[in-house]
Amino acid sequence: MPESPFLAACNGRKADHTPVWFMRQAGRYMKEYREIRKKASILDICHTPELACEVTLQPVNRFEIDAAILFADILLPFEPLGLGLSFPEGRGGGPVIDRPILVPADVDRLPDVSPGDMQYVLDAVSLIKKELAGRVPLIGFAGAPFTLASYAIEGGSSRSFIETKRFMYSTPEAWHSLLSTFAEMVGNYLVAQVEAGADALQLFDSWVGILSQHDYERFVAPHSKRAIEIAKSASVPVIHFGTNTRELLGSMAQAGGDVIGVDWRTPIDEAWKEFPERGVQGNLDPTALFAPQDELRAQVRDIMERVGGRAGHIFNLGHGVLPPTEPDALDRVIDYVREGA
Amino acid sequence: MPESPFLAACNGRKADHTPVWFMRQAGRYMKEYREIRKKASILDICHTPELACEVTLQPVNRFEIDAAILFADILLPFEPLGLGLSFPEGRGGGPVIDRPILVPADVDRLPDVSPGDMQYVLDAVSLIKKELAGRVPLIGFAGAPFTLASYAIEGGSSRSFIETKRFMYSTPEAWHSLLSTFAEMVGNYLVAQVEAGADALQLFDSWVGILSQHDYERFVAPHSKRAIEIAKSASVPVIHFGTNTRELLGSMAQAGGDVIGVDWRTPIDEAWKEFPERGVQGNLDPTALFAPQDELRAQVRDIMERVGGRAGHIFNLGHGVLPPTEPDALDRVIDYVREGA
């Protein structure tokens, strides 16, 4: 069987064509997904391997994409951690953590969580892998220690991350203890996903761009590094992703990852200069999918031209597919990438 | 009278000491402000020169700061524009635009707005200027065309700016017409503030960092440039500010501004390399004000060391003072800056 273009790019090798997948390619923008959500909550889907499998395969069946990504949520480990997790309707669908981490003692009280505590995720991975039957590789994933900590401390989404940084600056020992706990947990969880069948991994540090480089280096990098180090023991490629990371790209690459994910703010060739020895994933603006075809094609072309056919590029958005996106726009992007835009 | 350290720095001249002021230095974090808010809404304060004056002076009386900034809201021009503006309680206090711009025809329908339509702001400026009696200079301000357009189109705050970018990409003529209208309006409004007594101006392009550099250049820069060009006819210094602008700093400086405001993500000396011939304002992380004193001092010291006494630096936060901030933390920052941290 020929190597998949996605895995070739992950490994820095020239691929048959530039591989494409989309962060949040399974989600609300698809009618098939909304149908399932009528009868099952987000957590129901995550908890039920058959549903997680079905939702994971929806975009694989619909689009000519080069990878599947497990349907799950980065915050699922908060359930066995005893933090509580729900996605109430009518709050933009964002997560709510019922018992956030407020003081250092809350960190000490966290139970040990092992991958088996998310057995349903591992079962979903095995089932998806079987159903994919080798069509495309399957990406497993987890939240990075910082992004997990920000949710655990803020109790949900945040704009300013005041409580996260207050905790970080005021009680650095408890902070490092928390991130170290998360790093081990996440690393082991990623390894277990590979053992269950995942062909590659992505570490989502979505909100890390709220930090200065100095704070990233001091408070976060060692823990991301540890999580990736453990994950790499499973010998599959790891993609390391964040947004608003222009200043952090070099440090993130130092922390680890075979491929670094980049948002749309930085031209992809300029970003790549910060980690020339790794692969790059990105970086179309998700809102470009709302543009007329000419504009969309021009933006895809700009990325392709900046990459100039260099091996190690995975085409993706700079962040997840936005819920109001028209699925047809994804077809167009794939066509444009295939045609070299 | 000796030149104020703030104006000296604006003009690239060595000051007696590094000037300090804080974006949103008048606001909810001050008990004196919350007292006034018990009897007056945000719009009441803006509409009543005596109240706007009182609130503007609160931080000047409380802190050893080197500049006052007019209390107003960047969206006030939306009232005479007929877009409707309110700040409902219990939505995080964010603005709501009742009749957002949805289609190109909405742009054509916008009435001409002249500075006299915000006469109450100009009256506030004159009153503040009189009450300040030369203690410190007064900064007038306005929202930049892009940031105003984003509120006008989204109908309020946004995370993804989908509608803004959809409008920009899909109907570029109407977009340019809208931003051009805003540029003229904002430029004239800034000039009128100077005529009423403002000693310097700041153009807030707070959300412009959601754009790639290419989109900034195509869709925004000419209009920011025009607004600043008009403002500069009043012959006072202009500060040009945005957040998440690492990739845009050079383009923003090209568009104009004697001083470029920088958020905390970019080390100030690295940012300054992008516009060596201008001044720089910034760039302490607003969440550093929640840190213990040693950490806060270290972060102030880092900025002072990176600047290294170079003329043209105005110390400020990288974004506005956050509502839960303790006022004492601002005193400490001022002390640290005066002591050279």
Q: Please say whether the beta carbons of B74 and B141 come within 8 A.
A: yes
**Average pLDDT of span B252-272:** 98
Q: State both tokens at B274.
A: 């992008």
Strand order in the sheet with A68-69: A68-69, A138-143, A200-204, A238-241, A259-261, A279-284, A313-317
The 10s digit of each residue's pLDDT in B131-187 is 999 999 999 999 999 999 999 999 999 989 999 999 999 999 999 999 999 999 999
Q: Please say whether the beta carbons of A51 and A32 come within 8 A.
A: no
A120 tagged catalytic: no
DSSP letters spanning B116-136? GGGHHHHHHHHHHHHHHTTSS
- Map residue B329 onto helix, strand or coil: helix
Q: Do A160 and B292 touch (CB under 8 A)?
A: no
**Average pLDDT of span A283-304:** 98
**Average pLDDT of span A142-148:** 98
Determine the Cα–Cα distance for residues A244 and A279; give it in Å rounded to an integer.
18
Residue A1 has pLDDT above 60, yes or no: no
Residue B283 has pLDDT above 90, yes or no: yes
- Find residue A74's DSSP bridge partners: none
Q: What is the dihedral of CA A218, A224, A226, A227, to 10 degrees?
A: 160
* Closest alpha carbon to A291 in A245, A248, A328: A328
pLDDT at B160: 93
Q: Do B169 and A213 touch (CB under 8 A)?
A: no
Q: Do B247 and A265 touch (CB under 8 A)?
A: yes
Give me the residue from B267, B295, B322 closest to A169, CB to CB: B295
ω into residue B188 within 30 of 0, thus cis?
A: no
- Residues in chain A closer than 8 A to B295 (CB atoms): 169-170
Give Cα separations from A120 to A340, B40, B328 (angstroms).
40, 54, 50
Q: State both tokens at B232.
A: 């500069």
Residue A142 has pLDDT above 90, yes or no: yes
Give Cα separations from B234 to A248, B68, B132, B136, B280 (angstroms).
40, 19, 21, 19, 21
Residue B201 has pLDDT above 90, yes or no: yes
| Residues 6+ positions from A90 with CB-CB distance below 8 Å | none
Q: Do B291 and A244 touch (CB under 8 A)?
A: no
**Average pLDDT of span B239-256:** 97
Closest B-chain CA to A247 = B266
Q: Which of B62, B73, B123, B301 is catalytic?
A: B73
A332 near B CB under 8 A: no
**Neighbour tally for A2: CB within 10 Å:** 7
User: Which residues 302-321 of B have a C-beta within 8 angstroms of A?
Assistant: 302
Q: What is the dihedral of CA B67, B70, B75, B81, to 10 degrees?
A: -130
DSSP secondary structure letter of residue B210:
G
Containing A315, the helix (H) or strand (E) segment is strand A313-317
Residue A327 has pLDDT above 70, yes or no: yes
- Residues in chain A closer than 8 A to B169 (CB atoms): 287-288, 290-292, 295
Determine the Cα–Cα distance for residues B19 and B14; give it in Å rounded to an integer.
10
pLDDT at A90: 73
Determine the Cα–Cα distance for residues A286 and A320; give it in Å rounded to an integer.
7
pLDDT over 90, % of chain B = 96
pLDDT at A340: 84
* pLDDT band at A336; cut points 50, 70, 90: very high
Count of residues for chain A?
341
Q: Please say whether the beta carbons of A275 and A249 come within 8 A.
A: yes
- Residues in chain B closer than 8 A to A154 (CB atoms): none
A162 near B CB under 8 A: yes
- Residues in chain B closer than 8 A to A302 (CB atoms): 214
Determine the Cα–Cα distance for residues A312 and A10; give it in Å rounded to an integer.
6
pLDDT at B91: 62
pLDDT at B287: 98
Q: State both tokens at B194.
A: 């100077």
B34 tagged catalytic: no
Residue A226 has pLDDT above 60, yes or no: yes
ipTM reported for the complex surpasses 0.90:
yes
Q: Do B214 and A287 touch (CB under 8 A)?
A: no
- Residues in chain A closer than 8 A to B247 (CB atoms): 246, 265-267
Residue A6 has pLDDT above 80, yes or no: yes
Residue A92 has pLDDT above 90, yes or no: no
**Average pLDDT of span B110-130:** 98
* Closest alpha carbon to B12 in B275, B340, B316, B310: B310
A226 tagged catalytic: no
Q: Which of A29, A66, A73, A258 is catalytic?
A: A73
Determine the Cα–Cα distance for residues B191 and B331; give it in Å rounded to an integer.
32
Closest B-chain CA to A283 = B212
B151 tagged catalytic: yes
pLDDT at B3: 84
Give me the residue from A170, A247, A290 closest to B291, CB to CB: A170
The 10s digit of each residue's pLDDT in A49-63 is 999 999 999 999 999
**Average pLDDT of span A140-153:** 98
- Residues in chain A closer than 8 A to B285 (CB atoms): 165, 212, 215
Q: Residue B130: phi, psi to the nearest 5? A: -65, -45
Give me the residue from B211, B287, B288 closest to A161, CB to CB: B287
Determine the Cα–Cα distance for residues B244 and A264; give it in Å rounded to an integer.
12
Residue A91 has pLDDT above 70, yes or no: no
* Closest alpha carbon to A188 in A114, A280, A105: A114
CA atoms within 13 A on the CB side of A251: 22
Give me the residue from A160, A169, A287 closest to B165, CB to CB: A287
B73 tagged catalytic: yes
Q: Do B244 and A265 touch (CB under 8 A)?
A: yes
The 10s digit of each residue's pLDDT in B297-341 is 999 999 999 999 999 999 999 999 999 999 999 999 999 999 987
Q: Please say whether the beta carbons of A143 and A185 come within 8 A.
A: no
Q: Do A287 and B162 touch (CB under 8 A)?
A: yes
pLDDT at B93: 73
Residue B33 has pLDDT above 70, yes or no: yes
Rounded to 5 degrees, what angle do the CA atoms B24, B30, B34 make? 105
Q: Which of A29, A33, A151, A216 is catalytic?
A: A151
Determine the Cα–Cα distance for residues A142 and B41; give it in Å rounded to an integer.
44
* pLDDT band at A89; cut points 50, 70, 90: confident
Q: Do A162 and B287 touch (CB under 8 A)?
A: yes
Q: Which of B287, B290, B297, B325 to mutate to test the interface with A (most CBs of A within 10 A)?
A: B287
Q: Do A246 and B264 touch (CB under 8 A)?
A: no
DSSP secondary structure letter of residue B14:
-
Residue B1 has pLDDT above 70, yes or no: no
Q: Please say whether the beta carbons of B203 and B240 come within 8 A.
A: yes
Residue B217 has pLDDT above 90, yes or no: yes
Mean pLDDT, chain B, whole residue set: 97
Pick the residue with more confidence: B91 or B27?
Answer: B27
Q: Do A212 and B161 touch (CB under 8 A)?
A: no
Cα distance from A131 to chain B (closest Cα, Å)?
34
User: Which residues 18-77 of A have a C-beta within 8 angstroms of B?
Assistant: none
